[in-house]
């Protein structure tokens, strides 16, 4: 293994620092936006290409499968070759695939484009966090940046549901998918001028390819098995087959990681209790918010008879609260610490989920009374939880493992909703599913409070 030393980059000016952070933040938002964008127009896509339920499920999950499955490997690429290099490479793939998606002439090209988008995103997300570490080398500044960063993903998910419905209703589903390439291509033009050079030594060679293959294959298979529980029972071979394969591959990954010199996921990385709390809080918060988006997108249209446009408008309060709360959450983290803010955010989010479970699905209760209160509490809690959890998950991580931290953090954000949502679907009614989600989030909130006051 050889080591190549890069010349240290000069400190960027404050305007450049701001523009670079906005660029990276916009990328993080659009990565999650791209995940959520097909949700509302999915029926229209199915009608256009005459797709069955199985094909729609795979199309909906394709991006998330490769995104979640490759994040660990993407994080290690960022650590080894530098955040700037990895980000530009991943962004190039993401941009090309994003252009191909809205232009796809059929189901197979669209499915391939969605898989490729996820692969590019899996490199961009952790690489962007590695670049943040270069931008903010001081621990206090990096913590403030991560507190702001934490809320961008849920903002992207909200924007995906909101804008995709509006654009699909006014134009078509192809235009809803065209948002991602516009942002990606703009970022690809600006990134070479704004991104700082990769500082310090970068190591070449020695990537844990067997570990990457096993981790990716295991996460892909297990995630797919959980996703298709929406169509088949837990005792179906179509569910048990992928789940079993996923468990076997992930078990093999654990064995391999103990024997290789430079493992994809070092064993000591998850021994920090604060980091584990941050990852669990991230997974639960992402699961709670994504469950609400899916269930209420269906409830408002199927049970209340709302149009796609009106359904998208119903999520406007969520977006507004996220914008305001995201700005406040970062300051709260600086004042009270990430553990306390994470615990408080989880408690507030659990209250919002509880309200929605209690009255949100009652069609006789007006939206303003039964749904809106939960739509205000949940995003306020999610913004605080994500802000604190992002700091907990990445705090005290050596500079050479920032990409790994970003990969693990984003993996929790992607895999959490898949696992929890599949379990919640098995519970039964929408209301009971949200009630269980509220209890789970509240339980993690207690752990957050304990961590804040050991």
Condensed to tens digits (0 to 9), the pLDDT of residues 269-319 reads 777 777 888 888 888 888 888 778 777 777 787 778 887 778 878 888 888
For the chain, helix, strand, coil in percent to 5 are 80, 0, 15
- CATH architecture of structural domain 11-194+262-452: Up-down Bundle (1.20)
- The whole-angstrom separation of Cα 135 and Cα 147 is 15
Q: Please tell me the predicted confidence (pLDDT) of residue 443.
A: 60
- Please say if the pLDDT value at position 343 is more than 60: yes
Identify which of 177, 161, 157 has the alpha carbon closest to the alpha carbon of residue 313: 161
- Please say if the pLDDT value at position 447 is more than 60: no
- The whole-angstrom separation of Cα 161 and Cα 376 is 16
Pairwise pLDDT comparison (239 vs 130), residue with the higher score:
130
- The whole-angstrom separation of Cα 155 and Cα 127 is 20
What pLDDT digit, counting tens, does each position of 43-94 carry? 778 888 887 767 777 787 788 878 887 888 888 888 888 888 899 999 999 9
- Please say if the pLDDT value at position 97 is more than 80: yes
Which regions of 18-151 does DSSP assign to beta strands (E)? Answer: none
CA angle centred on 433, ends 447 and 324, rounded to 5°: 60
Q: Are the C-beta atoms of residues 153 and 413 closer than 8 Å to each other?
A: yes
SS3 1: coil
Q: Please tell me the predicted confidence (pLDDT) of residue 103.
A: 92
Alpha helices (H) along 171-208: 173-177, 179-194
Q: Please tell me the predicted confidence (pLDDT) of residue 4.
A: 43
Q: Please tell me the predicted confidence (pLDDT) of residue 3.
A: 46
Q: Please tell me the predicted confidence (pLDDT) of residue 7.
A: 44
Q: Which residues contact 416 (CB under 8 A, 6 or more apart)?
A: 282, 283, 284, 286, 287
- The whole-angstrom separation of Cα 223 and Cα 232 is 14
State the angle between helix axes of 107-135 and 53-81 in degrees (0 to 180), rounded to the nearest 10. Answer: 30
- Please say if the pLDDT value at position 12 is more than 50: yes
Tokens 């919640």 belong to 424
- Please say if the pLDDT value at position 204 is more than 50: no
What's the pTM value of the predicted model, to 2 decimals?
A: 0.79
- Please say if the pLDDT value at position 162 is more than 80: no
Q: Please tell me the predicted confidence (pLDDT) of residue 95.
A: 94
């Amino acid at each position: 293994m050889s080591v190549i030393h890069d010349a240290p980059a000069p400190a960027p000016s404050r305007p450049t620092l701001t523009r670079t952070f906005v660029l990276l933040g916009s990328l993080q938002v659009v990565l999650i936006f791209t995940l959520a964008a097909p949700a509302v127009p999915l029926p229209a896509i199915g009608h256009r290409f005459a797709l069955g339920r199985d094909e729609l499920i795979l199309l909906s999950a394709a991006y998330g499968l490769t995104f979640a499955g490759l994040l660990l490997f993407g994080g290690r690429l960022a650590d080894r070759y530098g955040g700037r290099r990895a980000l530009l490479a991943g962004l190039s793939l993401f941009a090309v695939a994003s252009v191909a998606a809205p232009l796809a002439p059929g189901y197979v090209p669209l499915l391939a484009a969605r898989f490729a988008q996820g692969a590019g995103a899996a490199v961009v997300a952790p690489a962007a966090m590695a670049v943040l570490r270069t931008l903010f080398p001081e621990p206090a500044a990096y913590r403030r940046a991560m507190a702001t960063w934490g809320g961008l993903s849920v903002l992207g998910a909200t924007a995906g549901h909101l804008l995709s419905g509006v654009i699909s209703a006014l134009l078509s589903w192809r235009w809803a998918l065209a948002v991602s390439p516009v942002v990606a291509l703009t970022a690809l033009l600006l990134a070479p001028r704004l991104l700082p050079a990769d500082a310090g030594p970068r190591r070449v060679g020695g990537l844990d390819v067997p570990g990457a293959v096993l981790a990716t294959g295991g996460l892909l298979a297990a995630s797919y098995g959980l996703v298709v529980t929406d169509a088949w029972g837990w005792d179906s071979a179509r569910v048990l087959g992928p789940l079993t394969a996923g468990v076997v591959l992930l078990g093999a990954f654990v064995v391999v990681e103990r024997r290789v010199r430079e493992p994809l996921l070092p064993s000591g990385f998850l021994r920090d209790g604060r980091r584990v709390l941050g990852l669990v809080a991230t997974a639960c918060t992402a699961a709670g918010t994504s469950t609400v988006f899916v269930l209420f997108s269906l409830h408002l249209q199927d049970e209340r008879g709302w149009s796609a446009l009106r359904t998208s408008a119903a999520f406007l309060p969520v977006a507004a609260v996220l914008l305001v709360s995201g700005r406040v959450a970062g300051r709260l983290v600086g004042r009270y610490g990430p553990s306390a803010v994470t615990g408080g955010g989880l408690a507030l989010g659990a209250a919002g989920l509880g309200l929605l479970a209690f009255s949100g699905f009652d069609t006789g209760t007006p939206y303003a009374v039964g749904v809106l209160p939960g739509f205000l509490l949940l995003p306020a809690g999610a913004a605080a939880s994500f802000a604190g959890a992002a700091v907990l998950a990445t705090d005290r991580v050596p500079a050479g493992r920032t990409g790994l931290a970003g990969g693990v953090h984003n993996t929790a954000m992607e895999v959490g909703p898949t696992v929890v949502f599949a379990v919640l679907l098995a519970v039964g009614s929408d209301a009971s599913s949200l009630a269980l989600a509220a209890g789970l989030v509240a339980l993690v909130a207690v752990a957050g409070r304990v961590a804040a006051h050991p």
